[in-house]
Structure 1
C-alpha cells in the first residue's frame, strides 16, 4: 500500500457526536453516511461529566450496521481498569471484524475523581504518563493470546493451546496487571490507538503509542511544526515515523452552502475559537483547504467535527469529499476491510510469539 506520509494517501475522519442522543439509529445513520464517503473512521467522544450514552457501547451497536468504516470511541484511562478497557476495545474489534480504534484520553477534574472516590485529581502530565502505561499494557494483553491459541477441538475437548497464552505481569505507577486477557487476540492484532496531542502533556505518550495523532491547529505552520515534533519523538522511541498518521482536527460549519469561506476561514486556514480551530464556509473551499495542506505535506489527514451534526456531515460527504474524489485525491472505495488497512498500517507482530517470551 502507498505510504501515507508526505503526499501519499489522504485520510479523512469525522466525529459523529450528537448532543444527548440516546437512539443508536441516529449514530448508525451518521456512520453509514460517512462510510458512503469512504472515510477512514468515525469518532464518538465520551467523558465522565457528559450526559449521554457510553461511546464504546454505542459503537458496538453501530458495528453490525456498517461494513467498512472504522469505529473509534473515546475511552479514558483515568479511574478505569486497564484490564477492562483493553478487553472492551478488543471486543469492539471482534464485533466490527477488525474496524476498532481507541481514542485515548484522561480525566483531569476533581469532579470526575469524586465520581469514583478512589483518588484525587492529578496533574495532566502525570495522567498522560499513566495513559502511556495503559496503552502499553493493552498491547501486551492483546498479544497475550497468540493468533492460533484457539484450538476448538470438540473431539478432545481442548479449546485453548495453553502454550500460546502468555502472562503479562505488568506493574505501572498506579496499577498492576497479570493477564492473560480474557479476549482472544483482536483481528487487527492491536486495534488502532488514537490520541489528541494538541496539549504538550500528551505528546510523548502519543508519539510513543498512538497510530493516529490529532492536532487542533489553526495554521498550516502550527500543524507542520507539531507533526515534525511528533515524528522526531516517535523516532527517538524506536518507531518508524512513517507509521504515525498526523491529522489536523477542525470544527467545520458548512451552513453557508456554496458561499466562499469567511475571511480567515478559507485558503488561509481555519480561525481559532474557544472551541478550537473552526472552518466556516462552503464545501468547495474546505476541499481546497484540505487539498492544499495535504499536498504540501503539512498533515496526513483531517479529523472533522461538524458544528451541526446532520447538516454538516451530509455537506461534507456529498460536497467536500465528492470534490476530493473527483480530483483523485481521496479514495472512491475501500481497498481493504480493516481500519489498519484504511490507514496503510501494518498488522503488528505478536511480541510474545516473535520473541518466544516466557509464558
Structure 2
C-alpha cells in the first residue's frame, strides 16, 4: 500500500442539510468528492432538537450505488439503537458498496444523551445518562454488532438445487450475548459482509481516556493536542486527524497538515459543518493546495479494509476444515 501522502477523508453531519432536495444534494456531493477523497463519514443527527436530518445509514445505503470508488462510513448512536438492526444495516451497506463500508460509532454524553433518551422514551435495555453506563453500553453494542457479522460463515449460502437448500444451517451460529441491559441470541439475518468485518471507527476527544475508543479499527482525533505518541500508537488503531475547514485560511490548514504529517498519523478528515457553502472552496482551493504540497495521496481502490492495510479477519465462529 502506498504511503506517499496522507489519506484524505471528508466528515459530514447529515443534519447539516435538510432541504426538500436532500437526496439530490447528497448525491451531487458524493459525486463531487469521489475523485479526491478516500471516504466520507456521515454522522447521524439522531434526536438533535433543531433538526436531525435523514438517517445516516439509510442515506449511506442509498448513496453507495452512486458513490463509485468512494467509501462510506455511516454513523449511528449505538447506545440508543438496537445493535441487531445496526449490524444488519451496516452489513447491507457493505454489500451495496461492494466492500467499501464502515460504521462510525457515535458516543453521546450530557445533553445529547439526554435528548436521545427522551426521543426513545421509557424503554428497557437502554443505559442511564451516566458516563460510565454509556461507555459500557457502547462497548457491549459494538461487541454484539461484530459478533453478528461473524454469525454466518463465509460459505453458509450453498444454493443447493438438488436438496432445495439455500443455506447450510450448520454454518449459522448463535452469538448468545448476555449483558447487564440487553441480550442478543442471533444469528444475523444478513450473510457475513464482504469485508468480513466492516471498518469500525470512533472519534476520540482530547479529554477522553484511551478506553473510550478501544473497540475501534480507526480513530478520528479531535482537537489540537493529539499526537501518535500521546495516543500510544503502538497499541492503538489507525489514527486520522480531524481538521475543521473553519480552522483558518487555506495556507494555515496546509501548514497544520504539514505539521501533522510528521507525527505518524494515517490521514486527515476535513470536517464540514456547512457543506453546501464549504464544499466549493474545499474542492477549488484547499484540496489543490494540499496536493501541490504533496501532503495527500490519491484515493486507492479495493475494499475499505484494504485501503487501511487491514486483512479480512478470521470468523470467530468458523468451523475447522
TM-score, L = length of structure 1: 0.78
Q: Does 1:118 align with 2:123?
A: yes
Counterpart CA distance in 1 for 2:312 and 2:45 is 27
Structure 1 position 341, deviation (Å): 1.9
Which of the numbers 253, 257, 260 marks the counterpart of 1:290?
A: 257
Q: Does 1:348 align with 2:313?
A: yes
Where in structure 1 are there 5+ consecutive unaligned residues? 236-240, 254-278
1:29 to 1:194, Cα distance in 2 relative to 1, 3 A:
same
1:135 to 1:100, Cα distance in 2 relative to 1, 3 A:
same
Contact 1:125 1:202 in 2 (8 A): no
Deviations 1:25-67 (A, max 9, x none): 1111112222111333333332222431111111111111111
Deviations 1:290-341 (A, max 9, x none): 13211x125222121124413432332343333433444433342x222112
Contact 1:74 1:105 in 2 (8 A): yes
1:136 to 1:69, Cα distance in 2 relative to 1, 3 A:
same
Structure 1 position 122, deviation (Å): 2.1
Structure 1 position 287, deviation (Å): 2.6
1:202 to 1:71, Cα distance in 2 relative to 1, 3 A:
farther
Which of the numbers 189, 192, 196 marks the counterpart of 1:189?
A: 196
- The aligned counterpart of 2:282 is 316
Answer with 102-111 or 68-77: which moved more: 102-111
Contact 1:125 1:201 in 2 (8 A): no
Deviations 1:154-191 (A, max 9, x none): 33211111121111111122111111110000011111
Q: Secondary structure at the match of 2:37?
A: coil
Q: Secondary structure at the match of 2:233?
A: helix
- The aligned counterpart of 2:223 is 217
Structure-to-structure mapping, 1:209-358, within 5 angstroms: 209-218=215-224, 222-224=225-227, 228-231=230-233, 235=235, 241=236, 244-253=237-246, 279-282=247-250, 284-294=251-261, 296-334=262-300, 336-353=301-318, 356=320
Structure 1 position 246, deviation (Å): 1.2
Structure 1 position 9, deviation (Å): 5.2
Counterpart CA distance in 1 for 2:299 and 2:242 is 23
Contact 1:89 1:100 in 2 (8 A): yes
Structure-to-structure mapping, 1:120-139, within 5 angstroms: 121-139=128-146
1:112 to 1:189, Cα distance in 2 relative to 1, 3 A:
same
Q: Does 1:29 align with 2:31?
A: no
Answer with 168-177 or 298-307: which moved more: 298-307
Q: Count matched residues.
A: 310
TM-score, L = length of structure 2: 0.87
Where in structure 2 are there 5+ consecutive unaligned residues? none
Calculate the aligned-residue CA RMSD, in Å.
2.4
Counterpart CA distance in 1 for 2:242 and 2:140 is 25
Contact 1:287 1:321 in 2 (8 A): no
Q: Secondary structure at the match of 1:78?
A: helix
Q: Secondary structure at the match of 2:271?
A: strand
1:314 to 1:42, Cα distance in 2 relative to 1, 3 A:
farther
- The aligned counterpart of 1:62 is 63
- The aligned counterpart of 1:20 is 18
Contact 1:68 1:338 in 2 (8 A): no
- The aligned counterpart of 1:257 is none
Counterpart CA distance in 1 for 2:154 and 2:293 is 40
